[in-house]
Structure 1
């Protein structure tokens, strides 16, 4: 078993999330946005929507030219712009943006936040062996748990990576709001479901 983080902390986050699930989406989103406005949090985001179907690239392939990868759709580009607009309009402080080396995550960061650098600990888990995936998940948990900046740290990655550290089911452009607790521990404060955003 991978010691990703303290499951007592996970229980608190899941309990809060379950509580939110019965509320209006906009209210749940507003609660998470209010936490982000305080700064010092970590945003763990799934990349925006991608092209699907035959001839639309390989979701498991890493191609620096972006020609053979699965890339953002026009809808995904719109989502990313809207995410960035919400952060700006709500005056959410951002200290840094990191993304998986894949093109769809890099493009989400560029369009939404006009910044970002690749981080190996955010790379797609599905293409890794079990030991490497476990080590990468530990690294991600440590980055989240140890974050101590005044603004918020934005991490843009893939669904399997988020599933490795949370029980939340994340659609494209959804993101978790996390409170670092030191070491590899963190608390889930809420989730912004993009389909339910203003």
Structure 2
């Protein structure tokens, strides 16, 4: 399913949504795609503790919704799955919000914080601008593996031009993009659990 990025009047506008949204890629297809490298993978942070809420204060872990114990385990297993399945990673970028940063570091080790991957709760009035920057990065080719970006659900919805349901892009899932230089192709979603299950098999 192809999406073309169009920037007008300071807002992010994307081409109309094609009929039949990509669902979760089948396990074997997902693993083969990721093993091939050259993709941009936009992960949502891992499973969070829903008893916590966000204050909107950057750098304040106590004032943010953080990973739960299940989320920390999920991120750790995701990283092990990448290694067991020989999925190459060229670089890892993350939001500075702790749930994303912790996911990136538990799964992949060192990660570079990128300001435009921030959650919309922490960037009032700038969410569309941040999404525009991320969309450009999704179009940027990557050499030597896959580019992993760990972010949040709302910015990805802005990039795709529609709201995303929790079940469609659950915590720990990835949206898979093929970069085309000036554009990108959205290939579908992959749950963290799909890769973990494939590695265990």
* Shorter-chain TM-score range: 0.7 to 0.9
**Distance in structure 1 (CA, Å) of the matches to 2:58 and 2:149:** 21
Structure 2 residues not aligned, in runs of 5+: 1-7
- The structure-2 alpha-carbon separation of the partners of 1:164 and 1:16, relative to structure 1 and needing over 3 Å to count, comes to closer
2:154 counterpart residue number: 160
2:135 counterpart residue number: 141
SS in 2 for 1:17: coil
**Distance in structure 2 (CA, Å) of the matches to 1:99 and 1:83:** 16
SS in 2 for 1:165: helix
**Distance in structure 1 (CA, Å) of the matches to 2:12 and 2:100:** 26
Identify which of 91, 94, 117 aligns with 1:96: 91
**Distance in structure 1 (CA, Å) of the matches to 2:134 and 2:106:** 23
1:24 counterpart residue number: none
How do 1:49-198 residues align onto structure 2 when only pairs under 5 Å count? 49-53=47-51, 56=52, 58-130=53-125, 132-166=126-160, 169-183=168-182, 185-197=183-195, 198=197
Q: TM-score, normalized by length of structure 1?
A: 0.82
Structure 1 residues not aligned, in runs of 5+: 21-26
- The structure-2 alpha-carbon separation of the partners of 1:3 and 1:161, relative to structure 1 and needing over 3 Å to count, comes to closer
- The structure-2 alpha-carbon separation of the partners of 1:87 and 1:195, relative to structure 1 and needing over 3 Å to count, comes to closer
1:30 counterpart residue number: 28
Q: Is the 1:4–1:141 Cα contact (8 Å) retained in structure 2?
A: no
Deviation at 1:165, TM superposition (A): 1.7
Q: TM-score, normalized by length of structure 2?
A: 0.81
Deviation at 1:128, TM superposition (A): 2.8
Q: Is the 2:12–2:128 Cα contact (8 Å) retained in structure 1?
A: no
Deviations 1:127-182 (A, max 9, x none): 3344x222111100011101332310000001101111235531000111110011
- The structure-2 alpha-carbon separation of the partners of 1:60 and 1:151, relative to structure 1 and needing over 3 Å to count, comes to farther
2:22 counterpart residue number: 17
Q: Relative to structure 2, which stretch is displaced further, 88-97 or 121-130?
A: 121-130
2:44 counterpart residue number: 46
**Distance in structure 1 (CA, Å) of the matches to 2:113 and 2:57:** 13
2:5 counterpart residue number: none
